[in-house]
Amino acid sequence: MAWGGPEEREAERAAGNLNVKNWHDMALKIVEDTMQAFWKERPELGTWPKSVGTSEKGCHANTLASEYNQHCHMLIKKLSLGWSAELCLYLSEIAEDITRDTDIIAWWAKHSLIYPTLSLMACDICGIPASSVPCKHLFSAGGEIAMDQRSHLGLDRFEQLQILKHRWRNMIVDHAIINSSQLEEHYLQNFEELYLVDEEFTALDHGLEVV
């Protein structure tokens, strides 16, 4: 990750922002904690595909069966190393088959044997409905809370503040909007009176011209 790492943190500190965090390390810590929780829900070794027996169709089928058995054996052996080995493998291997138009759900389903824990996490994340609302409207509510001067707030505290803000938002009376509406009505009434006076003067001028 090129953004939010230690170099960017030191640059922000040099610029005077002492509350800046290493977002790369924080994101990695969140992934590690989540993987530990999901590790207990991973498929058991007994649910993995069984070995493929020798086929009667010839040498080519035997080769495929052998490769398949080796692949499954490697996956099962890798699972015994724990979630950390799975994460290291995922971070070390660059997926070359991902493009802009890749179906990410299908990709994780295809690689669920290789990354069982991460695939479970991806299923939860990809299950969140997408929104067509612009990002600025989604995150503007936290603009006064998520700022550099308050970046030392923890995740739990930030979530509590956002929930309270959402809860109280409809209960707070916005006097600025009310006053602005009343002021517009007052201006409109004055303009209507001026318009009537102008109409009267126009009628008087027209009457004098006729005489």
Residue ranges per domain, the chain?
A: 81-128, 132-168, 173-210
Closest by Cα among 146, 170, 169, 172 to 159: 146
**Residues of the chain predicted below pLDDT 70:** 1-5, 42-81, 128-153, 208-211
Name the one residue in this structure whose structure tokens are 């509510």.
141
- Total-model pTM: 0.43
The predicted structure's pLDDT at residue 137:
53
pLDDT recorded at residue 181: 78
Give me the pLDDT at residue 131, please.
59
The Cα 124–Cα 115 span in angstroms is 14
Of the candidates 140, 141, 108, 112, which has an alpha carbon nearest to the alpha carbon of residue 126?
108
User: Tokens 């409109």 map to which residue?
Assistant: 188
